[in-house]
Structure 1
Amino acid sequence: MLGPNKDKLYPNENIKTVCYISNLTKRSNVEIGEYTYYSDNKKSPEKFYDSIEHHYEFLGDKLVIGKFCAIAEGIRFIMNGANHRMDGITTYPFNIFGSGWEKVTPTLEQLPFKGDTVIGNDVWIGQNVTIMPGVKIGDGAIIASNSTVVKSVGPYEIYGGNPAKFIKKRFSDEKVEFLLKLQWWNWDEEKIFNNLEKLTSESGLEKLMNNTLDTSLK
């Protein structure tokens, strides 16, 4: 065996609180990479889509999540449909209540639009995190529990708090540059299996940078 079946909803049948969300029924404007999992001890992890709020197809914004991400319970993705018009005196959305108020229905161009929300590969998102519209989170980043992410996060950076702020980089700039070129998440199953010790140990990065990577499958 070279690892769990990436095409199964529950990679470990003995743990029904964790599922590979790329195997959920596909949803318009949501893209999820292989091996990315959602863990929820309070409700079925199959309800992951409930955490994507105010996501309306007519707006066209996407939620894109990379491979090998770890997403904990309580995650909330706030999409562009939550935005109110802000160029007038009031932000109150009169139009949605009708009864004549619909005469001030804004055009799409008048609504704030932050673009797609994009989560990179190998990102760890802790419990009860809220991610606001248009945020970009780089590969290898970590978001601390109970954070509200209002601005983009760089690769291999750790953010936490409300609003989430930069805490530190996980590695030096040299190592981050190496990892972004390495893109281990795009390796095939056998190559990942043969290099698991390097990928998960404290000394593994140094070994990879010193050209001791298993190259038998190149």
Structure 2
Amino acid sequence: MNKNEFKHWSEIKYLKDIVTNPLIEVGDYSYYSGYYDNYSFEDGCVRYLWGDEKSRSLFNPIEEFGWQIDRLIIGNYVCIAGGVVILMGGNNNHHSEWITVYPFVDQIKHSFEPKGDTIIESDAWIGMNAMIMPGVTIGEGAIVAAGSVITKDVAPYTIVGGNPAKEVKKRFSEEEIAKLKEIRWFDWKRESIEAATHLLSSSSIDELYEYYLREIKD
């Protein structure tokens, strides 16, 4: 079976098992749930990012044009639902300040401008059919509501929704968020995480913080 093929809606694919593009960096246990779209992660969810096998065989804009291609960086334990679109560099060739936005072939090498890396930090959840525009950072523990369009950075542990997406609320208090940013549970060794799943799957940040001080922090 094709490693990108989904057999059922309940199936997920760990990104480390399916990503081949050298411009996509993925962390541990981050997954894509793409059954309803029938697209692979690199050929449907991620769009217009040079570096997949086919685009590498056609041309090399880094060597030929000297372009600096934006990267997609995904942390650990990120959840990406079906229908999500991560829009990368392809639209950077359309210039609103030029007379025409049409990308004439003989001007392509002059028209590209990098937007900056797109970053989805650890433990973020990207809801179904959300679109992430180029160059934004989605902070750790953030939640992007289904159908949202992300046009600017999302703060850690914040829920956003809408088009363009706006803050709905913080998931926790500022004091609790500070503790979570210190803990960074998603960077722990897997055995330490497995020993603390009962705490991670609760609302008791204080108990998790005590575990961190007792078992993790040097």
Instruction: Name the TM tier (shorter chain).
Output: 0.7 to 0.9
- SS of alignment partner, residue 82 of structure 1: helix
Question: Structure 2 matches for 1:82-101, cutoff 5 A?
Answer: 82-83=91-92, 84-93=94-103, 95-96=104-105
- SS of alignment partner, residue 201 of structure 1: coil
- State yes or no: 1:49 paired with 2:58: no
Consecutive unaligned residues in structure 1, runs of 5 or more? 1-8, 97-101
- SS of alignment partner, residue 214 of structure 2: coil
Q: Is the 8 A contact 1:85 1:112 kept in 2?
A: no
Between Structure 1 and Structure 2, which shows a larger proportion of helix residues?
Answer: 2
Distance 1:177 1:36 in 2: 23
- State yes or no: 1:152 paired with 2:147: no
Q: Deviations over 1:128-153 (max 9, x none)?
A: 01100001100000000001111110
Runs of 4+ in 1 over 3 A off after TM superposition: 13-16, 212-218
The aligned counterpart of 2:24 is 30
The aligned counterpart of 1:176 is 177
Of 58, 67, 84, the match for 1:75: 84
Q: Is the 8 A contact 1:65 1:119 kept in 2?
A: yes
The aligned counterpart of 1:18 is 12
Offset at 1:54? 1.2
Distance 1:61 1:14, change over 3 A: closer
Offset at 1:27? 1.1
Offset at 1:25? 4.4
Structure number, greater radius of gyration: 1
What TM-score do the two structures reach when normalised by structure 2? 0.81
Consecutive unaligned residues in structure 2, runs of 5 or more? 52-60, 62-66
Offset at 1:214? 7.8
- Aligned pair count reads 196
Instruction: Give, as a single letter, the amino acid of the residue that structure 2 aligns with 1:61.
Output: D
Q: Deviations over 1:30-53 (max 9, x none)?
A: 0011100111232557x1111111
Distance 2:82 2:8 in 1: 19
Offset at 1:115? 0.5
Instruction: Give, as a single letter, the amino acid of the residue that structure 1 aligns with 2:116.
Output: G
Q: Is the 8 A contact 2:19 2:42 kept in 1?
A: no
Instruction: Give, as a single letter, the amino acid of the residue that structure 1 aligns with 2:98.
Output: G
Question: Structure 2 matches for 1:128-207, cutoff 5 A?
Answer: 128-203=129-204, 205-207=205-207
Distance 2:38 2:213 in 1: 38
